[in-house]
Structure 1
Amino acid sequence: GAGGDEYTKLKTCIKAKKGSPDVAMIEFQTLPTFAILDPFVDMGKYGASNKDGRYAAWAWAQSTSGTKVNAIPVDGGPMAMLYRKDLFTKNNIKVPTTWAEYKEAAVAIKKVNPDQFIGTYGNDSGWATGLMWQGGCTPYKYNMTKSKANVGIKLNQASCKKVINFWGDLVTNKLADDKSFWATDTGKGYDTGKYWTWVAAGWTPGYLSGQLKDTIGDWAVAPTPQWTAGADVHGDWGGSSFTVMNQTKQPALATKVAMELYPTQNKITKGSAWDIGLNSAFLYPLVTKVESNPEFANYTYKIFGDAKVNPTYIHASQKLGPFEWTPFQDFVYATMADETTLAISGKTQWSAVLDTVQAKVVAYAKKQGFKVTA
């Protein structure tokens, strides 16, 4: 698995120059944080490539540094809108296709029941970043092949601010809640009608399936609302990859393991890694033959009344544009969460959140020795 504890141990092994596993799972946003330490085998030397379009293009771009192949994409989180189709239909409220309509629906929901919300701002920085990505915001520029020391940071640009300010307006006016996505009460809220929508990743239907008891079959999936009517722009929330550490004594074999743990295959055989990954862990595959496999595209969830919703996520993934990360994304995410918490509690203005995050991240980057373009 990937996450904070694993990353701490892995960094210790890298610095000690011993103890690293041959293959390690690392999330996309964290790849530059490790890559700057130069711990990865260039898997391109051992057959890893995307010449045949084996992996989602946007994910492959995040897995490489110039011609060097740092990682093999495994799973991602293209975003779409989960919503209570029964409540929208019963109350004759239009399912929103734009963010303007999303706010209109939020107002209408309050008239139906003042204790209900269109959704919640979960204060998850990965989620917020996915929405900024969908809003046309690309706040980071980092190209290790040109310079490890240069980083671009522009979190307070207009395309980023419009997203955070939009949600800040919803929260301030009690049109959206401010509870964490992962709180027990939030999970219950999706089941009781407290929350009508969740703009979330391709892996969240699996999570939501474990939260619902009374509204199984009442949910549906639609594309993420657009900032411009008729547009087709999407974001991603989450995703991971396999890397091969340069402490391995068998780089060729380790590369094969990284490529074949979740292999390219035309059939998802019972008991295979993809069978378990898709049907038990509810991963969203970034291996294109699996993504386009009819078994995945036609997969049905009981919570959606056995509807085939994966094509909506597939389209979102295929439309995803490029996105880069900083080599200190954990600090960026923590700072975003801290400043948003202050805005939620009324201790700062939502409009100031990204200005403050920008200033703190730039100061941190410079302190770490980076040359910052803002």
Structure 2
Amino acid sequence: MKFTAKKAIALTGAIAMMAGVAACGSGSDTAGDSGAAKDGEKTEILVWSWDSTLPRTVEGFEKENPDIKVKVTNAGTNKDEYNALNNAIEGGSGAPDIAQIEYYALPEYQIRDYVMDLSEFGADKFSDFYTPGTWSSVNLNGGVYALPMDSGPMAWFYNKDVFDKAGVDPTQVRTWDEFYDAAKKVKAAGSYITSDSGDAGFFDSMTWLAGAKPFATSEDGTQVTVNLTGDKNVKTFTDFWQKLIDEDLIDTKTVGWSDDWNKGLNDGSIASLLTGAWMPYNLLSGAPDGDGKWRIAQMPTADGSETNSENGGSSLALIKTDDKAKAEAAYKFMEYACHNAEGIKTRVDGGAFPADNDTLASDDFLSMTSLTDADGNAHEYFGGQKFNEELAKAAANVSTGYKFLPFEVYARGVFADDAGAAYTDKSITLAEGVEAWQKNLTDYAEQQGYTVK
């Protein structure tokens, strides 16, 4: 499905042109403008990424590829970057050669024909290299449209001191009914078992965990399915979470990633998180007083079955260009950062959670018991637990088949508008909020020219 410039920009809302960012360079300019190599010169590659570990790979890559120069620019985090990226591509200048794109946003760029199928470079042979969840996320409509950069299999991060006080062992909590019972005990001990003020990504991850498949897109990109109200597994989660909201068993007032949220994690008033495997270093920096108190367990599931979902994680995608030489140089860097053992090790050593099976199975990774802070100090934040063993197991259990909308960035942006009141003032139920969200998404899809099932 090919979009006009007007329609493509509308997919993520009307946004002002970010001239400062757009001036960084272009993946679609001519060789003389874009940095493609002339005789005796280096090919310059522009990468947009907010990830702090990716720039660490540049030195090793340039040493192996002295004819290529890599410039990594932070053009903003997730939605901010996507807005700038859409503007640059549609404006015909300023786009990077490579962009970091989260798995949930990638279908939008594939449908709009903004990113290249990496099969022509051999990436279609990498299926056994990456975890099932990440590999399925970059395989869209018969092509490979990015390389997995990191991953976010869900895991249960918990403050053992608080749970010991409550008399709960999370390693023995396997079902959502058991989680509900644990939440009552943790509340009686003076803490909330977790927090959620209405996070769309968390909602997606939990419904995925329940086995829901509310979204689908036809191969030609003309038809979408939006079936939140009719999917029984979406209802399984909303009914479960509604009970916790109604009985004030989760903190719905504290916004995630706020100072108050970090304070809650730090003092134990928020006793655990159901979140992605990228969380350890965030806990170390955001909740330093939890050092030695926290542990990791597998996610409890609706029926106790051993399955999992992803929460977060991102890829590197090659922005479409007619400059074959430039594209080949850019792909070399992507392959080094996401597929080469040294490139991956550099990022993992910097705190990234890997998407590849080799790292997840390596003794060095699995035997880790400490985290290293910015000053080089080691912390056994998880009390000497071999925490990566739990996270690797979580990655192996991720189910495949969950699909994101081709306008998922918009969908997540309006979730709070439609369902937020179910968390904040409880003026509606979560089911009613989800119904309003579905209507919004259906109306929006039709406005953008999709046929909606």
- TM-score, normalised on structure 1? 0.91
Count of residue correspondences: 361
Q: CA RMSD in A?
A: 1.9
Partner of 1:75: 150
- 1:327 paired with 2:406, answer yes
- State the partner residue of 1:367: 447
Determine the structure 2 residue equivalent to 1:9: 84
Deviation at 1:162, TM superposition (A): 2.2
Picking from 112, 135, 149, the partner of 1:60 is 135
Match of 2:333 among 229, 232, 257: 257
For residue 24 of structure 1, give the secondary structure of its aligned residue in structure 2. strand
Counterpart of 1:225 in structure 2 is: 300
Are the aligned partners of 1:121 and 1:176 in contact in 2 as well (CA < 8 Å)? yes
SS at match of 1:304: coil
TM-score, structure 2 as length reference: 0.76
Q: Are 2:346 and 1:295 equivalent residues in the alignment?
A: no
What is the deviation of 1:136? 0.8
Task: Tell me which residue corresponds to 2:30.
Answer: none
Q: Is the 8 A contact 1:132 1:159 kept in 2?
A: yes
Is 1:304 aligned to residue 382 of structure 2?
yes
Q: Which amino acid aligns with 1:336?
A: F
Distance in 1 separating the partners of 2:178 and 2:162? 16
Residue in structure 1 matched with residue 180 of structure 2 by the alignment: 103
Give the alignment partner of residue 274 of structure 1, picking from 319, 322, 345: 345
2:55 corresponding residue in structure 1: none
- Paired with 1:346 and 1:91, the residues of 2 have a C-alpha distance of 27
Structure 1 gaps of 5+ residues are none
Question: CA contact under 8 A between 1:135 and 1:227: conserved in structure 2?
Answer: yes
Larger-gyration structure (1/2): 2
Q: How far 1:52 moved relative to its partner?
A: 5.7
CA distance in 2 between partners of 1:43 and 1:17 (Å): 22
SS state at 1:310 partner: helix
Amino acid at match of 1:295: D
Within 1, Cα distance between the matches of 2:140 and 2:128? Answer: 17
Q: Is it true that 1:314 corresponds to 2:392 in the alignment? A: yes
Q: What is the CA–CA distance in structure 2 between the aligned matches of 1:354 and 1:227, rounded to whole Å?
A: 19
Bigger Cα displacement from structure 2, 347-356 vs 60-69: 60-69
Aligned counterparts of 2:142 and 2:182: Cα–Cα separation in 1: 47
* Conserved 8 A contact 1:264-1:287: no
Q: SS where residue 25 of structure 1 aligns?
A: strand
Q: State the one-letter code of the partner of 1:357.
A: W
1:152 partner letter: T
Shift of residue 292, structure 1, vs aligned partner = 2.0
Mapping of 1:39-50 within 5 angstroms?
39-50=114-125
Q: Tell me if 1:212 matches 2:290.
A: no
Residues 81-230 of structure 1 mapped to structure 2, 5 A cutoff: 81-95=156-170, 96-113=173-190, 116-143=191-218, 146-156=219-229, 157-178=231-252, 179-229=254-304
Structure 2 stretches of 5 or more lacking a match? 1-48, 50-76, 371-379
**Greater CA drift, 174-183 or 333-342:** 333-342
Using CA pairs under 8 Å that are at least 6 residues apart, name the structure with larger relative contact order, 1 or 2.
Answer: 1
